Structure 1
Amino acid sequence: MQIYKFGGASVKDAHGIKNLARVLHAVGYKNVLIVVSAMGKTTNALEVVLKNYFENKAELSSAIQDVIKYHNTILLDLFEDESHPIFKKIIYLFKELDDFFKTNKSPDYNYVYDQTVSYGELVSTTIISAYLNTIDIQNNWLDARTHIKSDNYYRRANVDWEATQHNITTSFNKKTLNITQGFISSDANNFTTTLGREGSDYTAAIYAYCLNAESVTIWKDVPGVLNADPRYFENAQLLHKISYEEAIELAFYGASVIHPKTLQPLQRKEIPLYIKSFLNPKNSGTKVGKGITLEPNLPCFILKKNQVLISLSALDFSYIVEDNISEIFKLLHTYKMKVVVIQNSAISFSVCVDNIFNNLEELLQHFKAKFSVTCHKNVSLYTIRHYNNDVLKKLEDNKNVLLKQLTQETVQIVTT
């Protein structure tokens, strides 16, 4: 088995979907599972739908119609005959979503989020599966929620590996080309859950692990893993080979090419991961695997914007010790903050977090009850792996550095 994952950028329009078919013809699709994300910026559009559901019901229908129109444009470009069954299937899926909004009683934003945004993947895979069948690339559409089971930690669900392994092992047909959704799963009550933004890579790794796949290939609009994001850094270069350990470090610090959880199941079974360009599928791209040294050996730059730096000190100037730190982390966990940097001294504790769930104000109120609190919002976190003094000095030029932390291989700098 080989697992191919195509992200939203690769299937954002009819041209992209036709190119997906060309990639399959170029590299082959025997014993292949295709994992696909929502098309283009559909997840963002569905988040607008969700916002209207909670805050502006008068605009809800209009927001849903915007998503429908976007997909209808793609359908009309792919299928000449409007009587093709795919048109009714897509209408039905959006009716399901509309019915959910009409009948839902839950006020839980995270639960409603997962039930809503999951339709991006369900619609994209339904369209692509139908298109491939019309051009004689016969395939079987799978609902990932019947395979991948999780807890009910909505928006960042944890996989139930035992149940998932059983489901895939007992019901997966390896004899045909299969296509399924990234990002989505379901809990014990069969409510839809999601694996975190950009979680389609993780889905590919889950299937690879359970199927003992030969490899996973992530098809991107870049030639592979670069040592820096070219949107923010000049002269970004392609990394031809990366070890699992190095890739996990880069993903942890926020490298956007690989989802942080993707590498763990692949490493356990030593399944190689390839990141390749869907525009040039024959190019070698980047290989991630066991026992590989970084090639070429370059400093790697990662930038995370819109972070929050919180600095705490005891109101009575006492030491920040185990009891304080335990309480701090309990609150960070309660309010679902993703911690990206920690630094502490005798009387202060600083933490840089990603406010994914928008719980910052509630967290700060709790902190202020027991600590003196300083909060810097919308800061930028720069991480350099394999840094040297020259690149560090250049990065710091003309920046207001709020926090700096160095280890032997990594430096992290928080700036305004």
Structure 2
Amino acid sequence: MRIYKFGGASVKDAVGIRNVGKVLKTMGTDRLGIVISAMGKTTNALEIIIASYKSNDSVYLKQIDVLYEAHLAIIEDLKKPSEGIDDESLVRFRESGIDKDLKAIIESLKGELLRNKSRNYSFLYDQVVSHGELMSTRIVTAFLKACGIPVKWKDARQLIRTDNKYRDATVDWEQTEKQILEQCSDELFITQGFIGSDENGFTTTLGREGSDYTAAILAYCLDAAEVTIWKDVPGVLNADPRVFKNTVLLEKIPYDEAIELAFYGASVIHPKTLQPLQRKGIPLNVKSFLNPKSVGSVITSSKHLVPTTPCFIVRKNMVFLRISSRDFSFIGESNISDIFHELSENKMQVGLLQNSAISFSLCIEDKYGRISTLLKGLEKKFKVSHVTGVSLFTVRHYDGDTIEDMEHGKNVLLKQRAQDTLQLVVQD
């Protein structure tokens, strides 16, 4: 069994959906499970709809209509003649009933909001945003079937069982494995990424990188031979080409190295996706949907990074804090506990930390705009200085030349070196 995952960028329009068909015909469809994300920026649009609804602004109904029209336009585009799509396939797609299916999902979305009585934002969020994946998978399934690819649509809410921690649900592995083995024995199926359901049948979502995680869950339960995530890049690079020059494709990445890179902020695969794959030694490929026969990258149980090369990560708009005791006493365990309590309460993500006898330095991401609240809490006990708008550079597998190049021309506020990792806090 193989599992493929196509993200929102790969199905954002009719061209992308046609290309999914080309990838499948190129790579073969024998014993294949396919995971599809919501199209393009659909999830963002649904979040705006929720915000309008929560502010008692009836414009949310018009926003839903706009979302419907955008998906309907993609369907209409798919009905038009295109290179590689024969007339019979177009006729089958036009007669597939996909227009009615889309309308039904939109009506379900409106009904979800009109009937809602819950004040729990996270619960409402999951019931609403899941409609993005329902729409995309219905459209892609109808098109693939019309093109002669006999794919079967599966509802991920009937496959993946979770607890009721909405927006970041935890998988019930025993129930999930049972459902997947019962329902996914077909040789070719398609399902939604990101979503599941709790014991009461309410929709849940799996949190950050949820669609990748769905692919990993299916692979684990089906003992798949491999997972492939299809992107608009050639694979995993050693740096962001928008920031660094002369980037290199990483052909083989050990599981633990991929987790390290993700921890430091690289846009590779989230650790929670890798964990079930690592347990069964299932390799994860990252390949280009524009060039499916290309080598790409594979995350696997290999011992070494191939090629062995420095990997560069930069996180911008960070906050640098230096915390010290007011009376020049040691920063001990109880002080550190107090500091991390404040960080946790304000949902700060720590990218770097360093402590000396009388001070504690951190580089943090203020994702939820709570830096003022954090500073007030810390200043009750400590002397605190801070610098906003800094960048955190991390280099895995650095060498002497790398250190010199990274520091050149930069105002370095803090440098930290470990055996394999160099980190610099730089004032922009």
Both structures adopt the same fold (TM-score exceeding 0.5)? yes
Map residues 95-244 of structure 1 onto 2, 5 A cutoff.
95-169=107-181, 171-244=182-255
For residues 176-203 of structure 1, give each alpha carbon's deviation from its aligned partner in whole angstroms, at most 9, with x where no partner exists. 3111111222333333332223321111
Q: 1:7 to 1:67 in 2, by over 3 A?
A: same
Is 1:367 the counterpart of 2:348? The answer is: no
For residues 130-155 of structure 1, give each alpha carbon's deviation from its aligned partner in whole angstroms, at most 9, with x where no partner exists. 11111121112122222223333333
- State the distance in 2 between where 1:412 and 1:154 align: 35
- State the distance in 1 between where 2:286 and 2:261 align: 14
Secondary structure of 2:271's counterpart equals: coil
Letter in 2 for 1:40: G
Task: Give the match for residue 40 of structure 2.
Answer: 40
Q: Aligned to 2:299, which of 281, 288, 303?
A: 288
Alpha-carbon contact 1:308-1:355 (below 8 Å) kept: yes
For residues 21-51 of structure 1, give each alpha carbon's deviation from its aligned partner in whole angstroms, at most 9, with x where no partner exists. 1100011111111011111122222222233
Letter in 2 for 1:272: P
Task: Give the match for residue 85 of structure 1.
Answer: 97
- State the distance in 2 between where 1:399 and 1:62 align: 49
Alpha-carbon contact 1:218-1:275 (below 8 Å) kept: yes
Number of residue-to-residue matches in the alignment: 415
For residues 38-82 of structure 1, give each alpha carbon's deviation from its aligned partner in whole angstroms, at most 9, with x where no partner exists. 111222222222332334725423432332222111111123676
Q: Gaps (5+ residues) in structure 2?
A: 81-92
Task: Give the match for residue 85 of structure 2.
Answer: none
Task: Give the match for residue 414 of structure 2.
Answer: 403
Q: 1:94 to 1:216 in 2, by over 3 A?
A: same
Map residues 61-76 of structure 1 onto 2, 5 A cutoff.
61-76=61-76
Structure 1, 367-376 or 269-278: larger mean CA deviation: 367-376
Task: Give the match for residue 9 of structure 2.
Answer: 9
- State the distance in 1 between where 2:417 and 2:163 align: 37
Q: 1:370 to 1:119 in 2, by over 3 A?
A: farther
Q: 1:58 to 1:391 in 2, by over 3 A?
A: farther
Alpha-carbon contact 1:314-1:347 (below 8 Å) kept: yes
Is 1:318 the counterpart of 2:329? The answer is: yes
For residues 308-347 of structure 1, give each alpha carbon's deviation from its aligned partner in whole angstroms, at most 9, with x where no partner exists. 4344333444332222222333343344433322222223
User: 1:107: how far off?
Assistant: 3.5
Task: Give the match for residue 394 of structure 1.
Answer: 405
Alpha-carbon contact 2:320-2:390 (below 8 Å) kept: yes
- State the distance in 1 between where 2:275 and 2:218 align: 13
Alpha-carbon contact 2:239-2:248 (below 8 Å) kept: yes
Q: Gaps (5+ residues) in structure 1?
A: none
TM-score, L = length of structure 1: 0.91
Letter in 2 for 1:89: D
Structure 1, 82-91 or 200-209: larger mean CA deviation: 82-91
Alpha-carbon contact 1:79-1:131 (below 8 Å) kept: no
For residues 339-362 of structure 1, give each alpha carbon's deviation from its aligned partner in whole angstroms, at most 9, with x where no partner exists. 322222223323333344555554
Alpha-carbon contact 2:228-2:284 (below 8 Å) kept: yes
Alpha-carbon contact 1:302-1:383 (below 8 Å) kept: yes
User: 1:364: how far off?
Assistant: 4.0
Q: 1:235 to 1:134 in 2, by over 3 A?
A: same
- State the distance in 2 between where 1:314 and 1:53 align: 47
- State the distance in 2 between where 1:402 and 1:191 align: 48
- State the distance in 2 between where 1:152 and 1:352 align: 33
Is 1:20 the counterpart of 2:11? The answer is: no
- State the distance in 1 between where 2:171 and 2:200 align: 14
- State the distance in 2 between where 1:363 and 1:110 align: 24
Secondary structure of 1:329's counterpart equals: helix
- State the distance in 1 between where 2:366 and 2:46 align: 20
Task: Give the match for residue 86 of structure 2.
Answer: none
For residues 279-302 of structure 1, give each alpha carbon's deviation from its aligned partner in whole angstroms, at most 9, with x where no partner exists. 111112112211242111111111
Q: 1:121 to 1:374 in 2, by over 3 A?
A: farther
Alpha-carbon contact 1:140-1:176 (below 8 Å) kept: no
Structure 1, 80-89 or 91-100: larger mean CA deviation: 80-89
Structure 1, 87-96 or 329-338: larger mean CA deviation: 329-338
Q: 1:117 to 1:361 in 2, by over 3 A?
A: farther
- State the distance in 2 between where 1:26 and 1:189 align: 41
Structure 1, 153-162 or 78-87: larger mean CA deviation: 78-87
Q: Aligned to 1:247, which of 247, 258, 262?
A: 258
Secondary structure of 2:272's counterpart equals: coil
For residues 376-408 of structure 1, give each alpha carbon's deviation from its aligned partner in whole angstroms, at most 9, with x where no partner exists. 444322211111232233223333333332211
Letter in 1 for 2:141: S
Alpha-carbon contact 1:157-1:196 (below 8 Å) kept: yes
- State the distance in 2 between where 1:238 and 1:288 align: 13
Task: Give the match for residue 364 of structure 2.
Answer: 353
Alpha-carbon contact 2:96-2:142 (below 8 Å) kept: no
